[in-house]
Structure formats: C-alpha cells, structure tokens
Amino acid sequence: MIKLNYHNTQDIKNSDFENKYKLLDQKIDSVIKELKALNIVFDNNLLNETITKTQRFAKDKKKFVVLGTGGSNLGARALVNILDKSFDKNIYFYDNIDPINFEKSLRSFNIKDIGFVVISKSGSTPETLSQLGAVIQIASEYNMLEDLYSNFLFITEFKSSPLFNIAKKNQSMLLEHNKDIGGRYSVFSNVGIVPAILAGLDTTEIHNGAKEIINNYPHYECFRLARLFKDQVNTDFSSSILMTYSDNLYFFGKWYLQLWAESIGKDKKGITPIHSVGTTDQHSQLQLYLQGPSDKFFTFITTDHYNKGLKINNDTMRDAGVEYLINKKMGDLMEAEQQATIQTFINNGFKIRNIHLPKINAFSIGSLMALSIIETIAACLYFDVNPFDQPAVEEGKVLTKEYLLK
C-alpha cells in the first residue's frame, strides 16, 4: 500500500474549505466514478479476453516492438519499466521519429521474428503512420510483407481511419481502442495492458492496485494537491517538481508529465510539471530548488533501498578514509540520500509531500497511476479547465501536413 505524507502545508481540511468547495468536490467525485479510463479495471472479463488474445499473438515471436507516441506509448513503457532489464522479454518502444536512429535500430532486427504492436486512438497519428510505413518498406525490400502483416497487432478505434483500414485490408489482428478513453488516460486499457502482458507483468495485479485507490481515494486525499494549488497561501506555485528515487520509475515520470501538462495547461492556467531523478539531479538541480525562486511544490516518490544492491568493497573504502561506506551496500547510500534530501526540504520550510512505495511492483505502480489520474482530474476541475481535451496542439498538426504537401 502506498503512503502519502505532506509536510509544511496548511491544514486544507478545515470546515470553511470543505463548505466552499463542497459542490465542486461532488462534481469531481461524479466524474471519477463515471470515468471509463478508471472503471475499466473492474471489467475482469475484458482483461481475461485481452490476456488470451495477446498470448495468442505472442506465440512463436521472439521480440516485440511497440509503435506509437504520447499516450499510446508512455503508459505501457512506465509499466514495463518496473521490471528488471533481464525480465523485460525483449520488448522495445519507439515513440519518436528520429530518422537515423529509427532506421539503424529497425534494420538490426530480423523482422520475421518480431511482433509489432501499433497503437493510435484516432488511427491517423502522423508519427505512428510514418513508423508503420517505414517498417512496411523494409519488409517489402526483403519480400517479407506476408510474414509482416501476420506479425502485426493494431490497437485503434473501430472506425474508418488509415490505421484501421490497413489492418483490415491485410487481415492483421485488431484490438479496439475504447472511444471513451483518451490516450494519456489509457494505461489501464489494452493500450497499456497488451505491452505489459508481452513483457511478463501480472496485469491483474496492476488493476488490483488501481482498484485499491479507486475504492478508497478519499482515504488517500486525492483532492489534496488540487486544493493546495488552488488555495495557495503565501506561495505562488508555478512549477510542480516530481523527484523519483528509482530508475524503475523513470518512465512513470515521463508518463506523468504528459498526463498533468496536457490536462491542466489551458486558458492561461496551469502549473508546470518537471521530472527530476534522484539522486542524479541532486547534482544538477538541487541548488536551484533550495535557493532559487520559492515558486515550486515538491513531490518525492521513494521506495525502500536499505541493504539492497552490491556490497561496497570495505578495504578500498577503509584505505581511502571513507568510513561511512564501510559495511554498506549501494542501496544504503540511496536510502540515506533520499531521506536526507527530504529532511533538508522539510527543515527549510518547503511545502512537499512524499509518496512512498514499499516495493515497486505491479500492484504499487497500478496504485500510483490511479492516484495520479484522479488528482490530475481533480486539479483540472479546481482550476475550471477541461481535463480531457488538448486544443492547443491541433494547429501544429495542421501545419505539419501543410508543410509535407508543399
């Protein structure tokens, strides 16, 4: 079970605040209860069907490639990221269209042995279509198109679109992208679950972790961050810093950036999310955080590192006079650094919270992502913006096509 602790924040559970936002909280509660992106975790039949179809797709395939960008990639990648590299079952994610790296990487694979998962809600995402087209071109050069199309699994809305029509024409496997679930909220649907199954994750536990939060979210104070930002006292927050203390949460941080930024950044409103990595970014950003502008709220996501990892050589440390590392493992240093950094922020009066995951596993990542979705929606509604659209990015999409047609 994840644990939330706030420090140096005002009491935002007082009766005046409760009365002021009572109707808004009821609206948020209603939105969350009706949200398909969350209540999909209670559809066990759909999950079992997805597992069965994905396992059938995976048969006789040695590696898997996920093509997609943004919400079609980041959630699944965050889930798979919790696995140790030796257990990730050779699954590769491509979310960019850097032409050199994409070609170099794809040409290093034996396409005949690869299962390609191609994801786009609309079925018309230019980046995903270009990735798909490039893969098809490579296969055509080697006269392998028939093998290639049997190795595709498409996840898209069941309506006429370039992606849907390509899949139907070539009789490739199709799974439906639920039309009521937006890309950045799709991690608990087949968009996130299919790659997780291919990587060997226990997807039932991912859903169970989400259920733990959904069924008990008042207990986890999922509205508290929204209230803190909305009812600021003596602080004008412009940035929200997320510092993750585990490499297994790196892509959770990237997923969270899209979830928060694309949801709340509208109508000249919003608080900018920034992802930092502990301990790495303590050596590059901590000075600014501690003595720069006081316009940031800090969330530390920690886990238990004590007595984990490789033992540090005692003789070398003793000869070098590094007494504090004698009889220690690398995890002991990580544990000490995350605790010391958090205490430094508390001692200096910063408003922070610590989200602690005793273990990083399928259950806890499901809980963490459900918590993030709920509090993002709550924050958007507190700021009176639509959590589910992204109108500002449409102009760039239109101009991109115009440039290509010149």
Q: Report the Cα 201 to chain-centroid distance in Å.
A: 15
For residue 393, is it within any domain? no
Determine the Cα–Cα distance for residues 370 and 187; give it in Å rounded to an integer: 9
Angle between helices 126-141 and 394-405 (to 10 degrees): 40
Same domain, 100 and 232: no
Same domain, 16 and 63: no
Over the chain (406 residues), what is each successive 10-residue block's mean pLDDT? 88 64 89 96 97 95 94 96 73 94 90 93 95 94 89 97 97 96 97 96 98 89 85 77 97 98 94 96 95 95 97 97 97 97 96 96 98 96 94 86 88
Determine the Cα–Cα distance for residues 236 and 152; give it in Å rounded to an integer: 49
Among the three residues 168, 201, 234, which one is the final residue of a domain in this structure? 201
Same domain, 22 and 45: no
Same domain, 357 and 220: yes
Same domain, 94 and 44: yes
Predicted local confidence at residue 227, as pLDDT? 84
- Three-state DSSP class for 153? strand
Q: Report the Cα 373 to chain-centroid distance in Å.
A: 10
Same domain, 259 and 367: yes
Among the three residues 180, 201, 222, which one is the final residue of a domain in this structure? 201
309 backbone φψ class: left, alpha, beta (φ>0; ψ -120 to 50): left
Q: How many domains does the chain have?
A: 2
Determine the Cα–Cα distance for residues 372 and 225; give it in Å rounded to an integer: 10
- In contact, 157 and 193? CB cutoff 8 Å: no
- What DSSP string describes 304-346? --TT-SPBPPHHHHHHTT-GGGTT-BHHHHHHHHHHHHHHHHH
Same domain, 287 and 165: no
Domain range holding 271?
3-34+206-382
For residue 387, is it within any domain? no
For residue 152, is it within any domain? yes
User: Torsions phi, psi of 231, nearest 5?
Assistant: -110, 50
Pairing status of strand 91-94 against strand 352-357:
unpaired
Same domain, 45 and 131: yes
For residue 391, is it within any domain? no
Predicted local confidence at residue 218, as pLDDT? 81
Among the three residues 177, 201, 225, which one is the final residue of a domain in this structure? 201
Same domain, 120 and 43: yes
- In contact, 158 and 122? CB cutoff 8 Å: no
CATH classification at residue 262: 3.40.50.10490
Predicted local confidence at residue 109, as pLDDT? 87
For residue 401, is it within any domain? no
Q: Which two tokens stand for residue 325?
A: 């590392």
For residue 229, is it within any domain? yes
For residue 140, is it within any domain? yes
Same domain, 25 and 90: no
